[in-house]
Amino acid sequence: MFISLKRFYLSTIGQWLPTDIFAYRYPVSVKGVCFLEGKLILVRDERGQWDLPGGKLKKGERLDVCLFREMEEELGIAVRVEKLLDATLRRIEDQVDVLVLLYQCATQCPLAHLRLSSENFAIGFFDPSELDALGLPSPYLEAIKRLDV
């Protein structure tokens, strides 16, 4: 009954829309887990929290291209995107759920080549033993620990 009414309504406005048009769609963020000289690279965001570098996927953009672009924008380094570590939903400031994809990355860039972008407030380098105290989301910590670095 509901489907029939929905199709009737949609047909009366002269359009046929996909049946999933009312399905919720999540924004997608791609994050990089990248170690340099044995330390995990993190950035301090606008909320004052440490986070993995990365950002939002643009329409039509490939996931690996997005992460490569974001790492270049946020840190000034080129990375090789290696493998998907985890996919998780993260609620940002109790307002929006974001699908976050965590990828392992590698870079040959020396520490001296890192630069801070205007999007972030600091770059940090952390030993894996320090990560529990930083307030990273638990799915991030679990994915990083599975790397056994």
Domain assignment present for residue 27? The answer is yes
Range of the domain at 122: 23-146
Domain assignment present for residue 7? The answer is no
Give Cα separations from 98 to 40, 71, 80, 114 (angstroms).
23, 19, 24, 27
Domain assignment present for residue 28? The answer is yes
CATH code: domain of residue 116: 3.90.79.10
pLDDT of 15: 60
Domain assignment present for residue 17? The answer is no
Domain assignment present for residue 49? The answer is yes
Residue 140: pLDDT band by 50, 70, 90 thresholds?
very high
Domain assignment present for residue 123? The answer is yes
β-bridge partners, 101: 30, 87
- Stronger pLDDT, 9 or 60, i.e. the higher one: 60
Domain assignment present for residue 4? The answer is no
* Alpha helices, DSSP H, located in 76-137: none
For residue 86, which phi and psi values (nearest 5 degrees)?
-165, 155
Number of domains in the chain: 1
In the chain, % of residues over pLDDT 90: 64
pLDDT digits (tens, 9 = 90+) for 38-93: 999 999 988 899 999 999 999 999 999 999 999 999 999 999 999 999 999 998 87
Domain assignment present for residue 134? The answer is yes
